[in-house]
A and B are shown apart, each in its own frame.
Chain A
Amino acid sequence: MSYAKSTFRHPALQPNALGYSKRDYEGGLSTLCAGCGHDSVGAAIVQACFEANIEPHKVAKISGIGCSSKTPAYFLGKSHGFNSVHGRMPSVATGANMANRDMIYLGVSGDGDSASIGFGQFAHVNRRNLNMLYMVENNGCYGLTKGQDSATTDVGSASKKGVANPFTAIDLCATALEMGATFVARSFSGDKEQLVPLIKAALRHPGFAFIDVLSPCVTFNNTATSTKSYDYVREHAAATGAIDVIPMKEEITTDYQPGHNHEVTLHDGSVVHLYKGDVELDVTSRDSAQAAIRRHQSEGSVLTGLLYMDPQSRDFHQMVNSIKGPLRDLGESALCPGQTALDAINASFR
């Protein structure tokens, strides 16, 4: 049990543009270990949804199995949630999205859930460019089954058990880029400044948005020999830069330093601003993103921040040309062709 949630709220706490207070975005009491990175990710999701003025009940939270996959119970309590089976969140999210394209789909998974048992489903949901935000709370281990190495554990990294991992690590951002994700980012549960705007931008993205969040497991993998510990990530993170999402209706007031600002205009006219760090990266190029990830890997650092986005993204429904609006709302009159059509069908079988 991590902490008792205080019900006290400062009277001056401002509601957002929809009139929701931040509490409306919170969920049940967390049962994760105190200090678990996953709880900070949940807090960032609450903050981002609040700031982005999202109606909580218009979000569907879907997860697999693991400590990470439990977290949807701890945020957005007014949203429906689905804690499915291990590694299969992508397919459940696909079906849910097919049924109703007008909701926001938030998938939460772990590195075991996505990079091992569910690696196939992870690859394929990228290919479909399903309109959803897919977050992996990546601690480089299997938290819930007591700390075994996962497929994202770096070579040489050792958890509490003290044995260095000999196997190649899967980089989920590189995989997502390869498989067709149209928004790819990496962040750190300890860096809310970076993570919150990334979530906000990803929620707006009309296609498959993937965020790999390094999220330390304090109980099994926060050792001095681990590359997914708080200290290691803090020391070795190199950011692509901070981002800011400006909805279309808002005036751009900030001054940007020339040469250090990259603008990406979204389909709805909103603009994502990237204030570039000292990183060679064109966020609209997959190749550039792959190269940047690899370059940092070879230098022993972890590249975080927005890595890639495709503003021309066409999502699954556009690709299969399904009707605007939720399929689930169609009734008999729209769906059932009736006996007259059936007479003709019968006749064709005579």
Chain B
Amino acid sequence: MTAIAAVNDLVIRFANVNGTGSASANGLFAKACFRMGLPVSPKNVFPSNIQGLPTWYEVRVSEQGYLGRREGIDFIVCMNGQSLAQDIASVRPGGYVLYDNSKPLDLRLERADVNFIGIPLAAICRDEYPDLRRRQLMKNVIYIGALAALLDIEFEVLKDLIGDQFRGKDKLIAPNIHALELGYRYAHEHFSCPLALRLERRDLVGDKIMLEGNAALGIGSVYAGATVVGWYPITPSTSVVDAFEKYASRLRIDPGSGEKKFAIAQAEDELSAMGIVIGASWNGARAFTATSGPGVSLMSEFLGLAYFAEVPVVLFNIQRAGPSTGMPTRTQQSDIISCAYASHGDTKQVLLFPEDPRECFDMAADSFDLAERLQTPVIVMSDLDLGMNEFLCEPMVWDDERQYDRGKVFNQQQLEEMSEKFGRYKDIDGDGIPYRTYPGTHPDKGAFFTRGTSRDPYAAYTELSEVYIDNMERLLHKWETAKGFVPEPELYQETNASKHGLLFFGTSTASCLEARDQLAADGIAVDCLRVRAFPFNQTVEQFIEEHEQVFVVEQNRDGQLRKLLVGECDINPKKLVSVALYDGMPITARQVVDHVTAKTRGAVVTPLHKQPA
């Protein structure tokens, strides 16, 4: 029988039962790879349920530094009887199956083409731990210990991680290390360790960090000076607010009084959450909310008000698979159109597309500046993959000289010195962006009535067609101005050299760049562009101009970004080929390669790879 042999190139899957404490043990594995200097990308595959259903945790280690998901499971850790058959079947020929052989394996599940590694986890736990919950938790740690022996993970690294994990609860450290040793010893005594598939220390991660995008959005919002949060719980966005609260509670407490320099309201629904953001921003505070598709739908009326009345809003949309409740714990990029044109009437909303947590941090901070500069909603379009999985990325950086851009706001003194009448919606600078005032600034000057109805430059209600049109045109002019403020797209080549372009955004990036390398190896060169914002600027249009065919990779069925490009750019729509990968799992390079190859060589389209979950 063959056995997959590779160093630092593997995909391992952990099959667990939701709610059994496996998450922290599995996290330990990924972190150990990271601390051995190896590029690693873990992905959670979990159900919309609290306890009892199958969950998977998939870790890819790639010495080449590819961080997207990869098909083909080399190693599976089977800890869930319910999904056992499916799990064993999912392994590549030559792969490895670690299972609990306290009871013999059902003969029907045996496969001749994979390597079974039986470890009597339940039996070991029964002997070691009288307490049932303990047995459950320690079982997870024991298989990590066994993996250390099998895959050659440095034991010291694991011990350090246990030390970090239980800092402050020191008496838990020794028992956890003991559990690691139990697994480690058993594996060494019963198998020839390490396997042909193994890990080896490298120096490939430098000063990078590993965190979830949602944590970075929360931290970015603390740094950006957000003080007011209104929100309503929804997976996968909840941890944005959790992170904000965690770091603000550490870093934003008045030392004298113990009082908070922020306020969070868990609202009754997303309408209210958005109302809170609008009220706070109108009143001069930096405010945000975080939600997912269903919440965006509810916020839509308010987003139109904020667009038209020109109130800054920061909204983090952690997209998940729709429509409706869809697959609430699977990832997608399928709110592009609903966010770009959120609300009735002629509205356009500014969107930002982060690719990793470092960019989540940057874009969180930038979104507040942009929203206040442009006096309009800014929607940061993350997704479940980025939000709830740890990504390897550059460390977060803050320039201590950085000043918040609070936009055009007249203060008390400016109002005092003003001889002409204050006009809230007057385009003084010719860039479409008017000046605003905060409530309570001046006793006689600068007050105005904010409304969602049409109004003249002095904020007075009007239904005069010319005045209405003037205002709508000014908003369009402001939109043009916005193109100069939003982040530029990223190009991955000095000059465009191929007739084929690959255009992508957000969490498709890692897999698209890996696909580019594979395609190049296959003799198909592609130029790459990553869209970072809507409105699109000139560079995007030019990229499309310079290529005969541009593949637009996105994680939705209908090619929403492609539609947006066709609608908003002066381009030939026929050039844009949609690569729609929307099965709810993070996309892989192989999927992109298959699509592009099929379309460039006229070959048969390979169907989407079936995933085990």
Contacts and interface: CB of A to CB of B under 8 A. Distances in A.
Interface of A: 55-58, 60, 62, 72-73, 77-85, 88, 90-100, 103, 120-121, 123-124, 128, 316-317, 320-324, 326-328, 330-332, 334-339, 341-342, 345-346, 349-350
A124 B267 CA distance: 8
Interface string B442-480: 111001111111000000010000000000000000000
A334 B252 CA distance: 8
A121 B271 contact: yes
Interface of B: 34-35, 207-211, 219, 222-225, 227-228, 230, 247, 251-252, 254, 257-265, 267-269, 271-285, 287, 301-302, 305, 395-400, 402-404, 437-444, 447-453, 461
A77 B459 CA distance: 13
Contact of A84 (B254, B275, B443): B275
A10 B245 CA distance: 56
30 contacts: A57-B441, A80-B447, A84-B275, A84-B305, A90-B275, A91-B273, A93-B279, A95-B275, A95-B277, A98-B227, A98-B263, A98-B279, A98-B280, A100-B284, A103-B283, A124-B272, A322-B259, A323-B260, A324-B259, A328-B438, A331-B225, A331-B404, A335-B227, A336-B398, A339-B397, A341-B251, A345-B219, A345-B247, A346-B209, A349-B211
Contacts of B274: 91
Contacts of B209: 346, 349-350
A108 to B, nearest CB: 12
B281 A95 contact: yes
A339 B223 CA distance: 10
Contact of B261 (A62, A316, A327): A327
A335 B368 CA distance: 14
> Nearest 9 pairs between A and B by C-beta?
A91-B275, A95-B279, A99-B285, A80-B439, A95-B280, A95-B276, A92-B279, A349-B209, A328-B284
A349 B225 CA distance: 22
A92 B400 CA distance: 33
Contacts of B208: 350
Nearest to A101: B263
Interface-central residue, B404, B440, B452, by most chain A CB under 10 Å: B440
B251 A103 contact: no
Contacts of A121: 268, 271-272, 275
Determine the main DSSP class of A at the interface with B.
helix
Contacts of B257: 323-324
Contacts of A73: 449, 461
Contacts of B275: 84, 88, 90-92, 94-95, 121
Given A91-B273, A103-B440, A328-B283, 16 more contacts: A60-B440, A77-B447, A82-B279, A83-B452, A90-B275, A92-B276, A95-B280, A99-B281, A100-B285, A100-B439, A128-B265, A320-B264, A323-B259, A327-B285, A335-B222, A341-B251
Contacts of A96: 279-280, 282-283, 439
A337 B223 contact: yes
A146 B303 CA distance: 27
B18 to A, nearest CB: 25
A29 B66 CA distance: 67
A72 B451 CA distance: 11
Nearest to B212: A349
Contacts of B223: 336-337, 342
Interface-central residue, A55, A58, A72, A349, by most chain B CB under 10 Å: A349
A331 B260 CA distance: 14
A94 B400 contact: no
Interface-central residue, B224, B254, B280, by most chain A CB under 10 Å: B280
B396 A346 contact: yes
Contacts of A346: 207, 209, 395-396
Nearest to B279: A95
A88 B265 contact: no
A57 B442 contact: yes
A330 to B, nearest CB: 6
Contacts of B443: 55-57, 78
A98 B265 contact: yes
B386 to A, nearest CB: 15
Contacts of B404: 331-332
A84 B279 CA distance: 9
Nearest to A322: B263
Contacts of A322: 259-263
Contacts of B247: 345
A317 B403 CA distance: 28
Nearest to B450: A82
A320 B268 contact: no
B404 to A, nearest CB: 6
Contacts of B224: 336
Contact of B302 (A88, A123, A124, A336): A88
